[in-house]
Amino acid sequence: MQMQNNTILITGGGRGIGRGLAEAFHAEGNNVIIAGRGKKALEETVAANPGMKSTVVDFTDADAIVRFANQIKNDYPALNVVILNAGIMRTESVQTGDLADAEAIVATNLLGPIRLTAALLPILISKPHATIMTVSSGLAFVPLAATPTYCATKAAIHSYTQSLRYQLRQTQVEVLELIPPYVQTELLGPGQLTDPNAMPLKDFISETMRILKHYPGITEICVERVKPLRGAEASGNYDTVFKMFNDRAASAHTTL
């Protein structure tokens, strides 16, 4: 991935991993636009990073995504990088029969990136160098049973990314997948921000940027901390890893 002189759109850029990536790419000299539903978080991020731009959009709304994509194409015709980071994560009990959370998670985490990719692909294909980066999760490879729909959407994003990469193999659009571990953000609530079991956000962003800079041909960005999850199935001990992972999480009443 070209690391400088890009025009980069980052969804979910007002907080957490999205904000961390936005600030890191902004510091590298890129033109960064952040988007998401939280107006206050977007404004705070832009205020802390002069020159960064923001726009509010609801990624669960298909029509809003089309309007947003058209606005982006008009306002930022140099757009050549899209980082599909926006997502929500909620614990669910499958025995309640309540599907509201599941449907919101699918709309945001899966349909949102697919719809936005479709809307922006024409402008990206027209560029001499372009990148689409999806953001999945280590939980795409070893799911956390307490968050079943979140994990399912991230597994689907991994699969979608592979197909997207293959279909675009003869274009100038590079397709990358960022696979985070459990990171100190507020994805599951304020407690996650200080959970000692989670990787500090600053460390995650630093290692991610280092990988992007020093391994330009890489297609999956995996920091060291996520590799046990990413490689669990290949290890031949998947069932053991899955049980230990979920038993430990259930026992500690926390997300690992």
Phi, psi dihedral angles at 34 (to 5 degrees): -110, 145
CA distance 159 to 136: 10
How far CA 91 is from CA of 15, 88, 162, 228, in Å, comes to 20, 10, 27, 23
E strands present in 79-126: 81-84
Q: Tell me the CB-side half-sphere exposure of residue 126, using CA atoms within 13 A.
A: 8
Task: Give the 3-state DSSP-derived string for 19-61, with helices as H, strands as E and coil as C.
Answer: HHHHHHHHHCCCEEEEEECCHHHHHHHHHHCCCCEEEECCCCC
Give the count of beta carbons closer than 10 Å to the beta carbon of residue 229: 24
- Among candidate residues 150, 160, 166, 215, the one labeled active-site is 150
CA distance 214 to 216: 6
Give the count of beta carbons closer than 10 Å to the beta carbon of residue 159: 12
CA distance 20 to 198: 15
Identify whether the C-beta of residue 14 lies closer than 8 Å to the C-beta of residue 35: no
Helical (H) or strand (E) element with 9: strand 7-11
Tokens read off for 107: 């709309």
150 catalytic residue (yes or no): yes
Q: Which residues are catalytic?
A: 150
